[in-house]
Amino acid sequence: MVASVLVEALRAEDPGITPNSTGLPGLAVVQQVVGALLTWGLVACVAGLVVSVIIWALAHHQGNYAYSSGGKTGVMVAAGGALLIGGANAIVTFFSGLGAGI
């Protein structure tokens, strides 16, 4: 009895609100800024990858395995960052679709 009352209380009407591109002014500017941030992030990942590979190679050549390990970690972090930045739209779209289905 109590459970059915709770289920009914939690069921609400769909308010009909969906994302739109006309609600607030300046959306085009925000999209340009976020696109530029994506570009800067990818450039930073490339720079981090290059520096990490150099550190990895030089440290390995000199027999400094602590720095070599740090270079390997830097390569993985840069690659992971590029993966997440490059897939940001797909990741957000995926979870937005999941949220819409709740």
Query: How confident is the model over 14-45, as pLDDT tens digits?
Result: 777 788 888 889 999 999 999 999 999 999 99
In terms of Cα–Cα distance, which of 18, 37, 24 is closest to 88? 37
Confidence category of residue 101, pLDDT binned at 50, 70, 90: confident
| Residue 100 reports pLDDT greater than 60 | yes
| Residue 4 reports pLDDT greater than 80 | no
Q: Is the pTM of this model over 0.85?
A: no
Confidence category of residue 79, pLDDT binned at 50, 70, 90: very high
Q: What gap in Å lies between CA 16 and CA 33, rounded to an integer?
A: 29
Residues 6+ positions from 86 with CB-CB distance below 8 Å: 42
Radius of gyration of the chain (CA): 23
